Amino acid sequence: MTGVRIAGTGHTHFGQFPERTGRDLFAEASAGAIEGAGVEREDIEALFYGNFMGELAEDQGHQGPLMAEMAGVRAPATRFESACASSGVAVREAVKNIRNGEADAILVGGAERMTNLGTAGATKALSIAADELFEIRAGMNFPGAYALMAQAYFSEYGGDREDLAHIAVKNHENALENESAQYQRAITVEDVLEAPPVAEPLGLYDACPITDGASAMVLVSDDFAEREGIDAPVSITGTGQGSDRMALADREYLARTPAATAAAEEAYADAGIGSDDIEVAEVHDCFTIAEVLAIESLGFFEPGEGIGAARAGETTRDGSIPINLSGGLKAKGHPVGATGTSQIVELASVLSGEHVNSDAVPDARIGLTHNAGGTVASTTVHILEVRS
Q: How far is the CB of 378 from a copy of itself (least distance, A)?
A: 6
Residues 133-192 interacting with a copy of itself (rule: CB under 8 A): 133, 136
List, by residue number, the catalytic residues: 84, 334
Backbone angles phi, psi at 301, to 5 degrees: -140, 150
Residues 345-384 interacting with a copy of itself (rule: CB under 8 A): 373-374, 377-378
**C-alpha–C-alpha distance, residues 344 and 352, integer Å:** 12
Q: Which is nearer to a copy of itself, 262 or 364 (CB)?
A: 262
Q: Which is nearer to a copy of itself, 272 or 353 (CB)?
A: 272
Contact (CB, 8 A) for 13 and 28 = no
Strands 213-221 and 4-11: antiparallel
Rounded to 10°, the helix 258-271/288-297 angle is: 50
Q: How far is the CB of 233 from a copy of itself (least distance, A)?
A: 26
Residues 49-108 interacting with a copy of itself (rule: CB under 8 A): 52-53, 55-56, 58-62, 64-66, 68-69, 74-83, 89, 93, 96-97, 99-100, 102
Residues 30-49 interacting with a copy of itself (rule: CB under 8 A): 47
Q: Which amino acid is at 130?
A: A
In terms of C-beta density within 10 A (0-12 exposed, 13-18 middle, 19 or more buried), how is residue 191 classed? middle
β-bridge mates for residue 8, sequence order: 218
In this structure, is the dihedral angle defined by the CA atoms of residues 253, 257, 259 and 261, taken in order, positive or negative? negative
- Helix (H) / strand (E) element for 366: namely strand 366-373
Closest to 257 measured CA to CA, from 308, 306, 204, 312: 306
Q: Which is nearer to a copy of itself, 15 or 373 (CB)?
A: 373
Q: Which is nearer to a copy of itself, 37 or 259 (CB)?
A: 259
Closest to 349 measured CA to CA, from 174, 183, 227: 174
Q: Which is nearer to a copy of itself, 13 or 124 (CB)?
A: 124
Residues 190-229 interacting with a copy of itself (rule: CB under 8 A): none
Residues forming contacts to a copy of itself in the complex (CB under 8 A) are 21, 23, 47, 52-53, 55-56, 58-62, 64-66, 68-69, 74-83, 89, 93, 96-97, 99-100, 102, 127-133, 136, 241-246, 250, 259, 262-263, 373-374, 377-378
